[in-house]
Amino acid sequence: MMSLTVTAQDNTWEKTATTSQNAQQNPDAKYLTGAVPEVGGRVIFETTIKAPGKSKKQVYDCILSYFKRMIKEPNQVGQSRITEADSIGNSQIVANLQEWLVFKNKPLELDRTRLFYHLIADCNDGEATIKMTRIVYLYDEEREPQQLVAEEWITDRYGLNKKQTKLARVSGKFRRKTIDRKNYLFETIKQELSK
């Protein structure tokens, strides 16, 4: 196993979220049952974002530009890259990403995982369908590396308690941060397409 010495990065992408009254009663409500969708046994987060008035090429160019900036963000590990870009048909972009998800970063205490995933954009006139899939975590690299796949770690079965009323003690933090990251990415792409 190759040792990686990288300075810890905070999740600079995280924003202060406003909470509804329901979320204040149970701060984990948005992370509970159904928050991690499975399609054919695979965890796939998916959304279609409207871009009224934009051609397929404009949608493609906008998302490609964002993906190029994203792979250079401080939380990205050097292997993040765009693996497919259909510049002829302007239809699909695939980014293979590796980044740090930081659970806790305090003096003498750093708890983080390396997150691997594919971000796929299927572009059309006036819209884009975005998918986040093939999610894998490499946790505790310095001591006892554990490779964890989303399907066996953050789904309702594994990421929630038996009654599905709370996040699971260990895998719950992965579920929470993955959903937060997905929400941030989808919202950022939506903002990019609205410009």
Rounded Cα gap, residues 195 and 187, in angstroms: 13
Residue 171 CA to residue 174 CA, distance in Å, equals 5
For residue 126, give the 3-state DSSP assignment. Answer: coil
Instruction: Give dist(CA 49, CA 142) in Å, integer.
Output: 39
Confidence of residue 108 (pLDDT cuts 50, 70, 90): confident
**Which residues, including other chains, have CB under 8 Å from residue 65's CB and lie 6 or more apart?**
192
Structure confidence by residue, pLDDT tens digits, 34-90: 999 999 999 999 999 999 999 999 999 999 999 999 999 998 988 999 999 988 888
Quote the pLDDT of residue 106: 92
Say yes or no to pLDDT of 127 above 80. yes
**164 vs 12, 40, 64, 157, 178, CA distance in Å?**
30, 22, 38, 8, 18
CATH 3.40.20.10 fits 40-193, yes or no: no
Q: Are 156 and 36 in contact (CB under 8 A)?
A: yes
Dihedral angle at the C-alpha atoms of 178, 75, 7, 150, nearest 10 degrees? 30
As a whole number of angstroms, the distance between CA 3 and CA 168 comes to: 29
Task: Determine the 3-state secondary structure of 56 from DSSP.
Answer: helix
Q: How confident is the model at residue 111 (pLDDT cuts 50, 70, 90)?
A: very high
Give residue limits of the domains in the chain.
Answer: 40-193
What Rg, from alpha-carbon coordinates, does the chain have?
A: 17
Residues present in the chain in total: 195
Q: At what angle do helices 171-193 and 56-70 cross, to 10 degrees?
A: 130
CA 69 to chain centre: 16
> Which tokens belong to 152?
């066996």
The answer to whether 54 touches 192, Cβ cutoff 8 Å, is no
